[in-house]
Amino acid sequence: MSNIPPAIEQPGHHAPGVTDSENSIEAKEVEGLSQGQIVRKRFFRHRGALIAMVALVFIIVLAFTSVGIKFGDVKSGGWWPYTWNIAVDIENAGRPTLSLFPFVIGNHPFGQDEVGRDIFAVVMRGTQQSLMIMVIVGAIATFIGTVIGAIAGYYRGWTDAVLMRFTDVIITIPVIVIGAVLGRRYGIQGAQVLAVILGLVLWTGLARLVRGEFLSLREREFVDAARVAGARDRRIIFRHILPNAIGVIIVNATLLMAAAILIETGLSFLGYGVQAPDTSLGKIISENQGAFSTRPWLFWWPGLFIIAIALCVNFIGDGLRDAFDPRQRRMPTDRALSRARFVGRNA
Partner 1 sequence: MATFVVRRLIASLFILLAATYLMYILTALSGDPLEDLRTSTAPNKEQLIASRTALLHLDVPPYLRYFIWLFGVSKCFIGQCDLGVTVQNQPVNVLLAQAAGSTLQLVTLAALVAVILGIVVGITTALRQYSGYDYGVTFLSFLFFSLPIFWVAVLLKQYTAIGFNDFLYDPQIALWLIPILALLAGVIWMSILPGTGRRRLATFGIAAGVTAAVLVYMQLSNWFTYPHIGIVGIVLTSVGIALGVTAISTGLKRRRALYASLVVAGVGIAVYFPFMLWLSYYLNIGTFVLVAVITVVVSFAIGWFMGGDDRMPVARTAAITGFLVGGIIALDRYLSVWDDYAASDRIKGRPIATIGSATPGLEGSIWIHGIDTFAHLLLPTLALILISFATYTRYTRASLLEVMNQDYIRTARSKGLTERTVVVRHAFRNALIPIATIVAFDIGGIIGGAVITERVFGWVGMGQLFQNGLDHVDPNPVMAFFLVTGGLAILFNLLADLLYAGLDPRIRVS
In the complex, which residues of this chain contact partner 1 (CB under 8 A)? 15-17, 165, 168-178, 180-182, 184-185, 205, 258, 262, 265-266, 269-270, 272, 282, 285-286, 289, 292-293, 299, 303, 306-307, 310-311, 314-315, 318, 327-328, 331
Task: Decide whether 118 or 318 has the Cβ nearer to partner 1.
Answer: 318
What's the residue count for the chain?
347
Asked if omega into 243 is within 30° of 0 (cis), the reply is no
8-state DSSP, 291 = G
Smallest separation (angstroms) from partner 1 to the CB of 65: 24
Smallest separation (angstroms) from partner 1 to the CB of 248: 14
Residue 5 belongs to what H/E stretch? none
Task: Decide whether 48 or 78 has the Cβ nearer to partner 1.
Answer: 48
Smallest separation (angstroms) from partner 1 to the CB of 265: 5
Smallest separation (angstroms) from partner 1 to the CB of 127: 14
Task: Decide whether 6 or 16 has the Cβ nearer to partner 1.
Answer: 16
Smallest separation (angstroms) from partner 1 to the CB of 304: 9
3-class DSSP state of 74: strand
Smallest separation (angstroms) from partner 1 to the CB of 296: 8
Task: Decide whether 98 or 188 has the Cβ nearer to partner 1.
Answer: 188
Q: Which residues contact 47 (CB under 8 A, 6 or more apart)?
A: none
Task: Decide whether 100 or 331 has the Cβ nearer to partner 1.
Answer: 331
Task: Decide whether 35 or 333 has the Cβ nearer to partner 1.
Answer: 333
Smallest separation (angstroms) from partner 1 to the CB of 175: 6
Cβ contact 108:96 at 8 Å? yes
DSSP of 333-347: PHHHHHHHHHHHHH-
Task: Decide whether 231 or 308 has the Cβ nearer to partner 1.
Answer: 308
Q: Rounded to whole angstroms, how far apart are CA atoms 18 and 23?
A: 7
Cβ contact 111:119 at 8 Å? yes
Residue 56 belongs to what H/E stretch? helix 47-66
Phi, psi at 67, each rounded to 5°: -105, 10
3-class DSSP state of 272: coil
Q: Which residues contact 285 (CB under 8 A, 6 or more apart)?
A: 265, 269, 299, 302, 303
